[in-house]
Structure 1
Amino acid sequence: MRDDIDTGGDRTVTAAPAFETATWEELVEIWQNLDLPNAAWRAEIIEGRVVMTRPPENAHNLIADLVHGELRDSIPKEWAIFQTSGIKIPERKSLCTPDLVVIPRSDVLAGKSSILADKALLVVEITSRGNADDDRTRKLWGYGHAGIPLYLLIDRFASDGPTVTLFSQPTGGRYLHQHRVVFGEPVELPEPFGITLDTSQF
């Protein structure tokens, strides 16, 4: 059994391939019992891999705060916005912790450490250098399979410059529609949100 550990820069610390053949129940148990360096670190299960991610940099957190604020001012009181909640996608052997997730309060079970992904209305991921590929591919695939209506990918490290992509209309495990803009252009979040997200401060 071997763990590939890389703690350099803004990279993820990945425990693999040690747990890739584990069952879903075993993966969740490993996730629940991980000894993280401190509360700021994040652990996820992505396509059967247990991944630990170091705390993000300030630029990442500032974007999360801006998006959180715009959503908070617009959504109904019956909805919650979480920045630290794991969402389960058992069919993809994934338990992701989006940078933001919007979910009806009635679908959040007290005493649980995660929520079912198919209850989410919107997930937001903000890329870091070390995990951008997961956000662009594996999480996109997982969120599509879970049927999450809207996935907002804020890609600070896109090859052609920082962009924001809204994925919508999940069908058969993938999103049928995507709308991509560069930082500074507005992004329309359709109903049930019905708001325009200002990206000029990203």
Structure 2
Amino acid sequence: MSALTVDHSEGYGHEWDELVRIWEETDAPEGCKVEIIEGIITVSPAPANRHNVIAGKIQRALYTVIPEDWGVYQALAVSVPSRSGLFIPDLVVAPESELMELSESEQFIPAIASTFIAEITPKSSLRHDRISKPAAFAHAGAPLYLLVDSWAQGGPTITLYGEPKDDVYRVLQAGKFGDEVHLPAPFDVTIDTGVFPVD
């Protein structure tokens, strides 16, 4: 993983624009994920096969309940400038109109424009997925954050966060692989984590 630090003491304006410019110009190997986390540009390796299978199963469940004009995206960047963050979650649900309103040069949507964000935690980014990202998404007001944590002590877990206030989510549901997790409205769908592959 590589990192580049940029002074972001003000969080907005020129410093944010410069950070985004560097992010846009970062040349990473195909399949790698380039993100800005707490003002640091990070490059993560391509996800493992189990990770992709889990993402596919969640995506399949979401497509059964979302409106026709919403999408489930696996490579959509979402921004939280006030937290010096630009993330590429494993799954983002957002109305297509949020993407279509962007100019050709804009490569991300504000996190608040999402209706659901999911991260499937690889070993290389445990702290970011468990702490930094949910704090940023809660701060931005993203309504639901699902953390699929294959590396939790005691075995793989799944945690659904919601009702953001300031930088904190409320835990709506927590369990282990094998449990069902119910996504509330506007989804109203149950995901069976028993079908998730484990190491």
| Stretches (4+) displaced over 4 A | none
Which residue of structure 2 aligns with residue 81 of structure 1? 72
Q: State yes or no: 1:201 paired with 2:170.
A: no
Deviation, 1:53, is 0.7
Alignment of 1:20-169 (within 5 A): 20-22=6-8, 23-38=15-30, 40-108=31-99, 109-110=101-102, 111=104, 112-169=106-163
Alpha-carbon distance, 1:76 to partner: 1.0
CA shift for structure 1 position 132: 1.4
Larger RCO: 1 or 2 (CA < 8 Å, sep 6+): 2
Amino acid of the structure 2 residue aligned with 1:93:
S
Q: Give the conservation status (yes or no) of the 8 Å contact 2:159–2:171.
A: no
* Partner amino acid, structure 1, of 2:24: Q
CA distance in 2, matches of 1:178, 1:24: 33
Report sequence identity in percent.
Answer: 38
1:94, 1:129 → 2: CA distance? Answer: 20
Q: Tell me the SS of whatever aligns to 1:193.
A: coil
Cα RMSD over matched residues? 1.1
Measure the CA separation in 2 of the matches of 1:70 and 1:132.
25
Aligned residue type for 1:80? G
TM-score, normalisation: structure 2: 0.91
| Structure 2 letter corresponding to 1:34 | T
- 1:81-108 per-residue CA deviation (whole Å, 9 max, x = no partner) reads 1100110100000000000000011111
Query: Deviation digits for residues 150-200 of structure 1, max 9, x if unmatched?
Result: 000000001121000000100122113331110011001000101111111
The residue identity in structure 2 corresponding to 1:83 is Q
Contact map agreement 2:112 2:142 (CA 8 A) in 1:
yes
Higher percent of residues as helix: 2
Q: For 1:49 and 1:196, locate their aligned partners in 2 and report how far apart those are by CA, in whole Å.
A: 36
TM-score normalised by structure 1 residue count: 0.89
Q: Distance in 2 between matches of 1:180 and 1:88?
A: 26
